Structure 1
Amino acid sequence: MPNTSPQDSAARPRKWDLAALRDLVIVVAVLVIVKQSVLPYSYLYAGPASTFSAMAVATYLLWRRGLGWRDLGLRWPTSWLKTAGLTVLTMAAFIIATQTMQLAADYFFEDVGASGRFDHIEGNLAAYIGIMLLVWTHGSFFEELLFRAFVIDHSSRLMGGGLGADLAAAFLSSVFFGYRHFYYQGMHGALISGAGGFAFALLYIWFGRRNILPLVFAHGIFNSLGQTFRYLGIRD
């Protein structure tokens, strides 16, 4: 019988992978429970607290299966020029998806923005530096690794793998990503965030499993621009 490595096993998921279901449920539960537990005490840090916690748990669950984030796409690029090009492509796809969804969201729901969650940043250099640290941890690396890499990978395994399972997993991950933004952006923002998450999810299926950094960089750049505009007092 031929030997198989953990990576070989990861490349050929079984039908109804119960281990993937277990790990997926655990990580999603951590994301939801920690955020809801922290929300009464901190509107700003509930999201970051949940992603930091979920990253620790997800890393352990991958390690227990002989895997790591590299197996889900966090790798040193073979070409930084290609990575830069894919980052620009990712940003363009995100803009198209979110602007298209905004047409529908504007018609049905009120745009509440960020509900004042980041108002303290305007003109406050210390707060701006602090939020930028969160942007490049929680808001770029951790969200992409969790909501794209982990959720899509494990959801697809659960459904047996293949293109159909990947697309269903992409949709599920985008719904969850939209839900994650509902508590401070309302339904309007949740729909737009979900649409952007779906664009990112499709790109993860295309190239992110080999190199997720373009998604991380695009996510971080968008968030950095948004927070910089808030710091400078630039309004839409």
Structure 2
Amino acid sequence: MSGNANSGTSRAKRKKLIDSGALLDLLIILAVLVVVKQSVLLFSYLYAGPASTVSAMVVATILLRRRGLGWKDLGFRWPENWLKTMGLTLLSMAAFIVATQTMQLFADAFFEDVGMSGRFDHIEGNLIAYIGIMLLVWTHGSFFEELLFRAFIIDRTSATFGGGLKADIAAALLSSIFFGYRHYYYQGMHGALITGAGGFAFALFYLWFGRKNVMPLIFAHGIFNSLGQTFRFLGIED
């Protein structure tokens, strides 16, 4: 009898290792990001990503409120120390560069670099298009992507597996793999690997300081994208 009781207790403990509520939140957001993007891709190559992140932000906000949470609980708050924030922003950018350049050595050896597949070619010399893309850079490409791919996905994945170091690392890996996949449709496997490596660097920084304040990662992401789009507008190879 005691053996059956112990077995039942062990099964109960194993079940508690999975937070079904957090898992459901995670699956819903991943589904929204995939389904909306794939649907919009049928009509627009440029706006599929932004449409999916806007949709996911709305749904994620609702899900968090249902749990009694808000984006502030995931690190989205105004910096109290701007000097420290700028320092962490620069450090995040340096780590991103190291991670992506290291992965590029591997990607170059096995996959063709297709660049951006012409997705942003219309920006060169086009001021109206440049202004429009910069609006996307500082919404979809910085705030929304960091809040979704770092804050929300990492928080919900870690919570799914009960938190702790192992759960955090698994969450960082999942978020970076999914982040790389998100860029596959126009960057190919070469770009997906490099982007995923950069995403993993950002994920580790989120685990370090982003839960308290994700703004350095948002700033770093926005600065990188701003530089890239500015180079394209000016006709400079980045």
> Gaps spanning 5+ residues in structure 2: where?
1-15
- TM-score normalised by structure 1 residue count: 0.94
**What residue in structure 2 maps to residue 8 of structure 1?**
none
Asked which structure has the greater CA Rg, the reply is 2
> TM-score normalised to the size of structure 2?
0.93
* Distance (whole Å) between structure 1 residues aligned to residue 104 and residue 78 of structure 2: 35
Residue in structure 1 matched with residue 44 of structure 2 by the alignment: 42
- Give me the whole-angstrom Cα distance separating, in 1, the residues matched to 2:136 and 2:225: 10
Listed as ranges, the matches of 1:1-236 within 5 Å are 15-236=17-238
Tell me the matched-pair count.
223
Structure 1 unaligned runs (5+)?
1-13
Deviating above 4 A after TM superposition, structure 1's stretches of 4 or more consecutive aligned residues are none
Deviation at 1:40, TM superposition (A): 1.1
- Distance (Å, rounded) in 1 between the aligned partners of 2:169 and 2:81: 27
**Which residue of 1 is the match for residue 9 of structure 2?**
none
Shift of residue 78 of structure 1? 1.8
Cα distance, 1:235 vs. partner? 1.4
Q: Deviations over 1:66-109 (max 9, x none)?
A: 11000000012120110000000000000000000000000000
Secondary structure, counterpart of 1:222 in structure 2 = helix
What SS class does the counterpart of residue 183 from structure 2 fall into? helix
Identity of aligned residues (%): 78
Structure 1 distance, partners of 2:62, 2:159, is 18
The code of the aligned residue for 1:225 comes to L
| Residue identity matched to 2:29 | V
Provide Cα deviations, 1:117-165, integer angstroms capped at 9, x if missing partner: 0000000000000000000000000000000000000000111100110
Question: How well do the aligned residues superpose, as a CA RMSD in angstroms?
Answer: 0.7
Query: Is the 1:178–1:191 contact (alpha carbons within 8 Å) kept by the matching residues of 2?
Result: yes
